Amino acid sequence: MTKFFSKYKIIFYFMNFCLIFLYIFPGSLIGLVIYSDIRLQPQITSDFVVSSNHFYVFALLSTIGFFSFNKFEEKKILIFYLILSSIILEVLHLFIPGRSFQWQDLFGNLLGVVVVILINKIINKYDIFKK
């Protein structure tokens, strides 16, 4: 699976583009499609301390990122990018009409990234999935 994603990094870049577009759009495009209301945001699961939607999105993005980039230097840059983008995208909600900054969302973003980083470290430490 790692070979697939590293060969097709375009998947990671496309997901980033979609995420950034959805994040900076004033309102919810997904809510518009599902509920015909730009003010409503669909909820995948109920929140528990952090925003579950934000956790899932950043965990998925981080996972695909770790599959896409194999070299140590690339992974260091990826970690920096994921953490920085999770913070910047949420802070931008302070300035975008129809969006609001929420600590719960920011912590969901960061937790999604951190969980994948920790899982990646455990997998690498114990040589899980290596042949």
pLDDT digits (tens, 9 = 90+) for 47-83: 888 999 999 999 999 999 999 998 889 999 999 999 9
Contact call for residues 129 and 109 (beta carbons, < 8 A): no
Alpha carbon distances (Å) from 131 to 8, 24, 127, 128: 22, 42, 9, 9
pLDDT in tens, 81-126: 999 999 999 999 999 988 889 999 999 999 999 999 999 999 888 8
Task: Check residue 38 and give its pLDDT.
Answer: 81
pLDDT at residue number 2: 59
| pLDDT for the residue 111 | 97
Q: What is the pLDDT of residue 1?
A: 62
Q: In the prediction, which pLDDT does 105 show?
A: 93
**Do residues 89 and 33 make contact, with C-beta atoms less than 8 angstroms apart?**
no
Q: Tens digits of per-residue pLDDT, 11-50?
A: 999 999 999 998 898 877 777 788 888 877 787 788 888 9
Return the CA Rg of the chain: 16
**What tokens appear for 46 in the block?**
């109920």
Helix, strand, coil distribution of the chain in percent, nearest 5: 70, 0, 30
